[in-house]
Amino acid sequence: MSNEPVGVIGLGAIGGGVARSLVNAGLVVHGCDLNPDAMAKFVDAGGHAADRPATVGKAARVVFLFVINAGQARTVLFGDTGLAEAMPSDGIVISCVTMAPSEAAAIGEELGAKGIRMIDAPTSGGAANAAAGKTKFMAAGAPEAIEGAMFALQAAADTVYRVGDDIGQGSAVKVVHQLLAGVHISAAMEAMALGMKMNIEPGALYDVVTGCAGNSWMFENRVPHVLDGDYTPLSSVEIFVKDLGLVLDAGKQERFPLPVAAAAHQQFLAASAAGYGLEDDAAVIKVYADLAGLKLPEGKD
């Protein structure tokens, strides 16, 4: 394990978990986030607070980037007090941002023009796995860049998948992954709502499905949010409005039909329109509950 410092910009559910995993692995970690609560949790875990992206870039050669979209990534990297101008010439940005492959490639080019290498490495595994050092990275980039940052990736990783040498290939794999993730969440909530409409006890239905062939990782992970009546956003409805939008954009670009993904996207849009956009993505079930007059389980005090 290297003893060189690492940076993390974006300390939300996933980025914060990764940052804590890096600290737990014995690394010195410099972090930055606009949310003071996220910063406080990071500092309490042993991290070093930075007031702006440039401060992180001056402190660490390898920096993880966990923001919402390509626009935020550009602001962090190239805006005032941005990361890129402060990083050393051998700096490596590990972009864990879900964005269009073309956007990732363009950002990689701009960083390359400044002598900074980029690893296009979206993630999977959720907040709990991030905090436990079990994130899965879909990494694309020059082999020497990935090897140069492997000490940091492995400190946070369950698995580092090497999906290609070109920036944008990691984002392309993530787009395909999010097609499945979004469809599985939407299908899981549709199935649970149908079961409730048929007067099946929700906990019993969960036990059957998770023990049988109809199960999916998303069903097993998200349905407990419904059973607990807890829609605290670990991944919000709006995230899947965005991510399935990227999926559909990729389909348009490739002239490839995506009818199942389009149907799932409509359900997330419906949930957003109904006012559930900032709730956990399992809140898609509330659309069905509103339509069918279902009473969902309530949270425990």
Other Cβ atoms less than 10 A from the Cβ of 68: the count is 16
| Contact present, 7 and 54 (Cβ < 8 Å) | no
Mean per-residue pLDDT for 136-144?
98
Query: Could you tell me if 216 and 124 lie in one domain?
Result: no
Of 167, 194, 228, the residue at which a domain comes to its end is: 167
Asked if residue 1 belongs to a domain, the reply is no
Answer yes or no: is pLDDT of 286 > 80.
Answer: yes
Catalytic residue among 174, 252, 295, 300: 174
Query: Could you tell me if 14 and 103 lie in one domain?
Result: yes
Q: In the annotation, is 174 catalytic?
A: yes
Of 145, 167, 189, the residue at which a domain comes to its end is: 167
Query: Could you tell me if 213 and 89 lie in one domain?
Result: no
Query: Could you tell me if 199 and 160 lie in one domain?
Result: no
Residue 188 pLDDT grade (very low, low, confident, very high; cuts 50, 70, 90): very high
Query: Could you tell me if 214 and 279 lie in one domain?
Result: yes
Q: What are the Cα distances from residue 19, in Å, to 51, 143, 150, 230? A: 16, 24, 15, 25
User: In total, how many domains does the chain have?
Assistant: 2
Mean per-residue pLDDT for 258-278?
98
Query: Could you tell me if 236 and 158 lie in one domain?
Result: no
pLDDT in tens, 74-89: 999 999 999 999 999 8
How much is the pLDDT for 7? 98
Of 135, 167, 199, the residue at which a domain comes to its end is: 167
Distance between CA atoms of 284 and 98, rounded to whole angstroms? 21
Mean per-residue pLDDT for 221-228?
97
Mean per-residue pLDDT for 15-20?
97
Answer yes or no: is pLDDT of 301 > 60.
Answer: no
Q: Give the domain extent around 184.
A: 172-292
Q: What is the mean pLDDT of the chain?
A: 96
How much is the pLDDT for 55? 97
Answer yes or no: is pLDDT of 41 > 80.
Answer: yes
Mean per-residue pLDDT for 249-264?
98
Question: What contacts 180, CB < 8 A, 6 or more positions away?
Answer: none
Distance between CA atoms of 160 and 166, rounded to whole angstroms? 16
What does the H/E/C string look like for the chain?
CCCCCEEEECCCHHHHHHHHHHHHCCCCEEEECCCHHHHHHHHHCCCEECCCHHHHHHHCCEEEECCCCHHHHHHHHHCCCCHHHHCCCCCEEEECCCCCHHHHHHHHHHHHHCCCEEEECCEECHHHHHHCCCEEEEEECCHHHHHHHHHHHHHHEEEEEEEECCCCHHHHHHHHHHHHHHHHHHHHHHHHHHHHHCCCCHHHHHHHHHCCCCCCHHHHHHHHHHHCCCCCCCCEHHHHHHHHHHHHHHHHHHCCCCHHHHHHHHHHHHHHHHHHCCCEHHHHHHHHHHHHCCCCCCCCC
Query: Could you tell me if 129 and 259 lie in one domain?
Result: no
Asked if residue 300 belongs to a domain, the reply is no
Query: Could you tell me if 281 and 135 lie in one domain?
Result: no
* pTM greater than the 0.75 cutoff: yes
Asked if residue 287 belongs to a domain, the reply is yes
Distance between CA atoms of 175 and 246, rounded to whole angstroms? 7
pLDDT in tens, 47-59: 999 999 999 999 9
CATH number at residue 233: 1.10.1040.10
CATH number at residue 110: 3.40.50.720
| Contact present, 175 and 101 (Cβ < 8 Å) | yes
| Contact present, 181 and 246 (Cβ < 8 Å) | no
Q: Distance from CA of residue 298 to its chain's centroid?
A: 27
Answer yes or no: is pLDDT of 300 > 70.
Answer: no
Query: Could you tell me if 155 and 176 lie in one domain?
Result: no
Query: Could you tell me if 148 and 111 lie in one domain?
Result: yes
Query: Could you tell me if 21 and 157 lie in one domain?
Result: yes
Mean per-residue pLDDT for 209-221?
97
Q: What are the Cα distances from residue 227, in Å, to 90, 199, 234, 258, 288? A: 49, 15, 16, 31, 15
Asked if residue 301 belongs to a domain, the reply is no
Residue 129 pLDDT grade (very low, low, confident, very high; cuts 50, 70, 90): very high
**Whole-number percent of the chain with pLDDT over 70:** 99
How much is the pLDDT for 1? 58
